[in-house]
């Protein structure tokens, strides 16, 4: 589901979206725990995403402040890496491999099937909010493709039928 909030940066002097209290507590805890390590920004962003499900815009300011960076620098890193999400995902996240070894085993057809079955393109979420579809380029399962990660769990030799079964199972859970 798309957030209704506009994605544009706040105007100069504008208000950065505040974090809801529970997210704010998570972000503060992560910062305190990790900020002392060298090159702490990626570990912090990972920890926030693991806890919250994504990296909310409101987390950028506190992280920048703690690491003595500008908000633009944190935003730059956050938006550079494909793994980080800036909007809440669906209840499940599906990373579908698009790379050559999986292509050799029918990944392009599986990709078409996935888009149709979920009714969304990559980076989108199915209308019922169940599954967010993300592309990924290699999961290291290249002798047994096509491959996908569903909530961090690797699946091998995924046919369209197997895909449907996995999604049906996830929707029930």
Stretch that binds another protein, among 8-16, 25-33, 125-133, 139-147 (CB under 8 A): 139-147
Query: According to CB under 8 A, which one of 142, 160, 162, 170 is a site residue for another protein?
Result: 142
C-alpha R_g of the chain:
18
- CB burial class (10 A; 0-12, 13-18, 19+) of residue 102? buried
Residue closer to another protein by CB (options 24, 106) is 106
User: Residue with structure tokens 């900020």?
Assistant: 35
Give the residue from 112, 129, 110, 130 showing the smallest Cα distance to 121.
112
Tell me: does residue 83 bind another protein (CB under 8 A). Answer: yes
Stretch that binds another protein, among 10-18, 22-30, 43-51, 162-170 (CB under 8 A): 43-51
Q: Which is nearer to another protein, 40 or 59 (CB)?
A: 40
Q: In what order do the strands lie in the sheet with 131-136?
A: 131-136, 92-97, 148-150, 153-155
**By the criterion CB under 8 A, which residues form the site for another protein?**
37-43, 45-46, 67, 76-77, 80-84, 95, 99-105, 108, 136-145, 147, 149, 152, 154-157
């Amino acid at each position: 589901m798309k957030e209704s909030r506009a994605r544009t940066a706040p105007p100069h002097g504008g208000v950065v979206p505040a974090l809801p209290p529970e997210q704010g507590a998570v972000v503060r805890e992560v910062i305190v725990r990790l900020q002392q390590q060298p090159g702490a920004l990626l570990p912090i962003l990972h920890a926030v995403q693991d806890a919250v499900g994504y990296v909310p815009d409101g987390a950028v300011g506190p992280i920048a402040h703690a690491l003595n960076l500008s908000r633009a620098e944190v935003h730059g890193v956050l938006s550079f890496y494909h793994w980080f999400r800036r909007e809440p995902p669906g209840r499940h996240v599906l990373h579908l491999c698009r790379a050559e070894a999986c292509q050799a085993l029918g990944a392009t057809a599986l990709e078409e099937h996935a888009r149709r079955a979920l009714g969304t393109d990559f980076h989108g979420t199915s209308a019922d909010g169940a599954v967010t579809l993300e592309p990924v380029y290699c999961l290291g399962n290249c002798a047994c493709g096509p491959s996908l990660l569903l909530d961090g769990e690797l699946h091998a030799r995924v046919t369209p039928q197997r895909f449907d079964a996995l999604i049906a199972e996830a929707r029930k859970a």
